[in-house]
Structure 1
Amino acid sequence: MAAFLVAGGGSGSSGPRALTSDEANRLAITRFRNYEAHGRAVTITVPGTAGGLIVTGSVDYQGKLGYGVVHGTGRDTSSDGLIEWTPTSVFVHPMANAPAHAPASPPRSAWYSRPLQSSGSALDSSLAIALRLGSDRPDNAELLPQNGAAWWGRDRVDGHRVDVMAGPSSRDRSGTAGNVRYWVGSDGTMYRVRVRVGSASQPVVIDFDTQKYVPVKPVPGVTPTR
C-alpha cells in the first residue's frame, strides 16, 4: 500500500468506528480519483503564528506539478505572488499586487527557485502534501482498516454529502493513524483534506474544486513528470 500522509485535525463527528467495506473501498481509491482526473483545482490554507498563507491554484497529479497564487492573511504582502512547485523544488514570482487567480500562462521571467524543504516550513510541507494526494493506483482497501483507518462522521462540502475518514498509519511511522482526515464523496472523490504538520500549531486545510481547474504550465526550469 502506498503510504498515506502523516497529518492531523478533525471535524465535528460521531466516530470513530470501523470502516465498512464500501467506505474502505472509497478511501482506497480517493487519491487514484485525483490522478484519474489528471488535475484538480485547490485552495491550500496554511496556518502561521505571524499570519497564514492561502495558495489558490491547480495541481497536476499526473505531472506532479502545482501552480497558483499566494496571498498572506493577517500579515503583510511580502510573501504574495505566484508559485509553482514540484516534489523537490519551489519557484516563486513575487508580486506586490497579486491577482485573485494565477494567470493561465505563467510569466516567462522573474522567477526565483529554491529546494522544497522537507521540514521546518509549513508552506513547503503543505505543498508537498498537496502533490501526494494523487496516486497512479488505488491503495489496498483490506489493509486500510488493519492500519488504523476509521470512519469519523458525515459532513457537507460545497453541497456534496461526504464521509469523514481518518487515514491509516503511514508506512514509516507507526502510531500515526487518525492524524489525517479525508472528506470523501459517494464515488470516492476527495473534497477536503485536513492535516497537521510539525511546523504549524493549526492543521493545514486543502479544499478541492474551489474554482475552475486550469491546466498547469511549467515555468522556465521546471520539467513535469510524465
Structure 2
Amino acid sequence: MVVAIAVVAAAAVGVAVALIANSPSTPTDPRPLTAEEANRLAITRFLNYQAGGRSVTITVPNTSGGLVITGSVDYRDHLGYGVVRGKGRDTSSDGLIQWTTTEVFVHPMTDSLAEPPVAPPGSGWHRRPLNTSGSSLDSALLIALSLGNDRPDNAELLPQNGAMWVRGDQVSGRTVDVMAGPAARAKPGTAGNVRYWVDADSALHRVEADVASEPQPVVIDLNTRPYVPVQPAPGVIR
C-alpha cells in the first residue's frame, strides 16, 4: 500500500523498460499505470529498506514561511534525524530534530547548521508526541518514515486502487515518471494525494504529498546528499 495522505497515519507508500515517450514539457493526461510502471512503483519502498536509509530534504509549508529539514532517514529502525531551518518568518523551530513513528525530539540551536552533527548532542533534547493529524510538520515526518518497507507492495492492487501515471519529468538529472499513488486503505477519495518521482531502476527521487492542514504540498527529496547512518539521541527508543 502506498502512503496516500489525507490523514497521515501510517498508511504507507507502496510502490526498465519503457521510459517516458513524452518529454517533461509535453502536456499529457493522467492514465492508469502500465504493468511495468506498477511493478516499478511497487518496489520503491523495498529498495529504500534494502539500502538501509536515504538522505532527505523535507520542505514543509506553513503560513509563516515553512520549514526545511536536511538529514537522513533510517528505514530499518524507522528513525529520522536532521537540521531544521525556518524560511521567511518561521525561525523559532531552528535546531536539530529526531523522530520516530510516535515521538519527536527537538534540540534548539542558535547557530545555523547545513548538516546535523553525526553524533547527536548528549543533552538538551525535548520530547513530545508525534501528532498524526493537524500538523504539517508531523505529517511530513511520518510520510518520510513510511517511504521504506521490508517487502514489495502489491503491484496488481496499485492500478485497481487508483494509482495513475501523471507525466514525465526530470529531477536531480534523472529522467523519471511521476506517478500518483492509490487511495489509502479505507480512505475513499484519497487517490492521487501523493505523487512519486520514480526512475527506470525503480529508485524514488521525490515525493509530493497533500496534507489536510496546508494548501501547499509537503515535498521530500531523496538522496540529495550521501546517506549518513542515524545515531539515536539520548532517550530515543527505536
Normalised-by-shorter TM-score class: over 0.9
- Correspondence list, 1:82-101, <5 A: 82-101=96-115
Contact 2:64 2:90 in 1 (8 A): no
1:186 to 200, 205, 210: 200
Q: Distance in 1 between matches of 2:35 and 2:83?
A: 39
1:82-102 C-alpha deviation (Å, 9 max, x unpaired): 000000000000001121110
Match of 2:220 in 1: 206
Is residue 39 from structure 1 mapped to residue 53 from structure 2 by the alignment? yes
Match of 2:166 in 1: 152
Which consecutive residues of structure 2, in runs of 5 or more, have no partner in the other structure? 7-23
Match of 2:10 in 1: none
Moved over 2 A (4+): 2-5
TM-score (norm 1): 0.94
Residue type at the aligned position of 1:5: A
- Correspondence list, 1:1-226, <5 A: 2-6=1-5, 14-224=28-238
Q: Distance in 1 between matches of 2:46 and 2:89?
A: 36
Number of aligned positions between the proteins: 220
1:90-134 C-alpha deviation (Å, 9 max, x unpaired): 000000112111011100100000000111111011001100111
Residue type at the aligned position of 2:37: E
Q: Distance in 1 between matches of 2:206 and 2:226?
A: 16
TM-score (norm 2): 0.89
Match of 2:9 in 1: none
Residue type at the aligned position of 2:166: W
Which consecutive residues of structure 1, in runs of 5 or more, have no partner in the other structure? none
Percent identity of equivalent pairs: 63
